[in-house]
């Protein structure tokens, strides 16, 4: 499938985005371990998350889908049954790494497989600490890549310091910790998304934190079944937020979106680049904050993204690189070497596509430097099988002269089914649903900068 994109007319629109991907994966797994039925509203029915749903089904969990974004997960008090065959994680790194943690705590043997892209991604980051806890994990691919053969059971809690900041690895260890003897503590070099910890608290699993960057889970606990509503995914909203921010007088409201502050660093960057950005948390009842974000576009200026900010906007870096070429001056992204081991080497993919569209880009080991404002021209660009690359370049197309074609765009279904429908609204002025300006009625939350 190809996406064909033309320059956007004036943006003035109000949208919602589908459920948060990271939270959807975790909610299904934790609900499945709970002691009863949990209804999950706002679930993201994307390819990645459906791999987690099907994996939990293959482990003996009954999961009903009364609606596309509603699941009823019948928790079985941590009892899982051996899968009849290998578990297919598709292209989803989150599915494979979280399940590695979960399966490390089971007494049966299982095998996790992925598609060609996932089969190239490093798994030593979960294998090493889970082995330290007592699991037996064999990576069948070269250099510790999938498939993974896992024989777990009788784990002991450990105190582990992550060498790389990773929400996935932290979560894998916390899930394994639930099945381990004693306590499992994970220290992270820089704070990453904390949805596992938040959901543990919501499902009444006891955890402890020792300041920022250290979390402990106590073993042998059963999550208490509860219903939960997953907020919209700010990483999906990011594409539209950048589009509105980069168009002078562009205006966008995103409602019902997750505003967990381990995920909102993008807003701070857009603010510093010169856009007007407001966020208002409207609901924290279920512990994951949700609310409204409003962005008004201004001529943007270049910025530096580095250090502590990077793990908190790791998935937003492709679209922020696009924001960089639309801004005045230089935008530098550093300390982002993790981008090289995402769904594709995102540093190389961004540099390649930006150059194809006429921008000046320097690729570094751990990031990129882009020079703006670049007069982008429409071109055929590749998705590299990576959903975030495909979506970032669809947005670049909204600012380019002529037509942009994003090839192999079906990968967008991994995180954002329905992206193409919203994209049509952005390119078709008649369909633009004029948003009600709400600036003025918000209490802006200060956005942290590095
Ligand atoms: C995720 C963590 C991040 C992110 C991925 C989802 C998660 O990966 O890139 O899309 O749900 O924990 P890392 O933990 O590998 O940085």
The pLDDT tens digits for 43-86 are 999 999 999 999 999 999 999 999 999 999 999 999 999 999 99
Specify the pLDDT at position 153: 82
Specify the pLDDT at position 411: 98
Specify the pLDDT at position 132: 97
Q: At what angle do helices 167-178 and 124-132 cross, to 10 degrees?
A: 30
Q: Which atom of ligand 1 is nearest to the CA of 338?
A: 16
Q: Tell me, in angstroms, the distance from the centre of ligand 1 to residue 15's CA.
A: 25
3-state helix, strand, coil in the chain (%, to 5): 35, 25, 40
Domain range list for the chain: 3-19+231-435, 21-229
171 lines ligand 1 (CB under 6 A): yes
Specify the pLDDT at position 85: 98
Q: Tell me, in angstroms, the distance from the centre of ligand 1 to residue 314's CA.
A: 8
Alpha-carbon distances of 198 from 165, 260, 261, 376, rounded to whole Å:
18, 10, 12, 42
pLDDT band of residue 210 (cuts 50, 70, 90) is confident
| Shortest-distance Cα residue to atom 11 of ligand 1 | 22
Task: Note the pTM of the prediction, 2 decimals.
Answer: 0.96
94 lines ligand 1 (CB under 6 A): yes
pLDDT for residue 329 is more than 90: yes
Fold of 3-19+231-435: UDP-n-acetylglucosamine1-carboxyvinyl-transferase; Chain (3.65.10)
Class (C level, CATH) for 21-229: alpha beta
Q: Tell me, in angstroms, the distance from the centre of ligand 1 to residue 171's CA.
A: 10
Q: Which atom of ligand 1 is nearest to the CA of 125?
A: 15
Which residues are paired to 338 by β-bridges? none
Tell how strand 290-296 and strand 251-258 pair up. antiparallel
- Asked if the domains at 3-19+231-435 and 21-229 fall in one CATH topology, the answer is yes
| Shortest-distance Cα residue to atom 4 of ligand 1 | 315
Q: Tell me, in angstroms, the distance from the centre of ligand 1 to residue 414's CA.
A: 14
pLDDT band of residue 441 (cuts 50, 70, 90) is very low
166 lines ligand 1 (CB under 6 A): yes
Q: Tell me, in angstroms, the distance from the centre of ligand 1 to residue 395's CA.
A: 22
How deeply is 367 buried, as exposed, middle or buried, from its count of CB atoms within 10 A (0-12, 13-18, 19+)? buried
Which residues are part of the catalytic machinery? 315
Residue whose CB lies within 8 A of the most ligand 1 atoms, among 168, 288, 387, for a mutation test? 168
Torsion-angle region of 420 (φ positive above 0: left; ψ -120 to 50: alpha; else: beta)? alpha
Spatial CB neighbours of 116, under 8 Å, sequence gap ≥ 6: none
| Shortest-distance Cα residue to atom 9 of ligand 1 | 315
């Amino acid at each position: 499938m190809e996406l064909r994109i033309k320059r956007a007319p004036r943006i003035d629109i109000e949208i919602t985005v589908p459920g948060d991907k990271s939270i959807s994966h975790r909610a299904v797994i934790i609900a499945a371990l709970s002691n009863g039925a949990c209804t999950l509203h706002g679930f993201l029915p994307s390819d990645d998350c459906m791999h987690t749903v099907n994996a939990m089904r293959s482990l003996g969990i009954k999961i009903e889908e009364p609606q596309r974004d509603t699941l009823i997960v019948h928790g079985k008090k941590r009892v899982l049954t051996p899968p009849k065959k290998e578990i297919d994680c598709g292209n989803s790194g989150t599915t494979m790494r979280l399940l590695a943690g979960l399966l490390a705590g089971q007494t049966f043997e299982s095998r996790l497989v992925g598609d060609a892209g996932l089969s190239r991604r490093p798994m030593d980051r979960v294998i090493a600490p889970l082995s330290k806890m007592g699991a037996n994990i064999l990576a069948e691919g070269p250099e510790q890549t999938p498939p993974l053969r896992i024989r777990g059971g009788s784990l002991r809690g450990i105190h582990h310091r992550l060498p790389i900041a990773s929400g996935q690895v932290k979560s894998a260890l916390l899930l394994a910790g639930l099945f381990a003897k004693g306590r499992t503590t994970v220290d992270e070099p820089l704070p990453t998304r904390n949805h596992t910890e938040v959901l543990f608290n919501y499902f009444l699993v006891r955890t402890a934190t020792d300041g920022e960057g250290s979390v402990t889970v106590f073993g042998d606990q059963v999550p208490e079944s509860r219903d939960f509503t997953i907020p919209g995914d700010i990483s999906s909203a990011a594409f539209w937020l950048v589009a509105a921010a980069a168009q002078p007088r562009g205006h966008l409201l995103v409602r019902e979106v997750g505003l967990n502050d381990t995920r909102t660093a993008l807003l701070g960057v857009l603010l510093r680049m010169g856009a007007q950005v407001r966020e208002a948390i409207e609901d924290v009842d279920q512990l994951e904050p949700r609310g409204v974000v409003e962005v008004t576009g201004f001529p943007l200026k270049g910025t530096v993204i580095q250090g502590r900010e990077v793990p908190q906007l790791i998935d937003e870096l492709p679209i922020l690189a696009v924001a960089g070429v639309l801004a005045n001056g230089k935008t530098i992204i550093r300390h982002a070497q993790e981008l090289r081991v995402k769904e594709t080497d995102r540093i190389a993919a961004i540099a390649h596509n930006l150059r194809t569209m006429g921008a000046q880009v320097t690729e570094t080991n751990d990031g990129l430097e882009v020079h703006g404002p670049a007069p982008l021209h429409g071109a055929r660009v590749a998705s590299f099988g990576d959903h975030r690359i495909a979506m970032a370049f669809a947005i670049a197309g909204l600012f380019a002269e002529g037509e942009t074609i994003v090839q192999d765009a079906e990968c967008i279904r991994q995180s954002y089914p329905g992206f193409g429908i919203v994209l049509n609204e952005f390119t078709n002025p008649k369909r633009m649903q004029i948003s009600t300006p709400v600036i003025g009625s918000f209490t802006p939350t200060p956005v942290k900068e590095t």
